[in-house]
Amino acid sequence: MNKIMLCCSAGMSTSLLVKKMIASAEERGIEVQIDAFGASEFSNHFSDYQVVLLGPQVKYMQQDLQEEANSAGVRVETINMMDYGLQKGDKVLDFALDLISEHA
């Protein structure tokens, strides 16, 4: 099962995107666990996931979060601003799955 964490300022703006990503995965028969958290919760949860996707509003935190995630071999990337803004769950899911397959 693919495990994807989304992270934004408070975990709220990514919640709708999570639903769209899960719907896209279900349509394609892909097993996923996708959860959204606020940036303040990053340290408590990142090690449970294969990849962490950041909302564009917290892109400035990417380098620090990646340094922390290196210990668990978890990749941290920022979601494309247009895909995020337009809530393109299928595109963001594909991005996450590509990152997971690159790391496998």
DSSP 56: G
Q: Catalytic residue at 8?
A: yes
CB 2, CB 97: distance < 8 Å: yes
Catalytic entry in 6, 8, 32, 51: 8
Residue that has been written with the tokens 């799955």 in this structure? 97
- Residues designated catalytic: 8
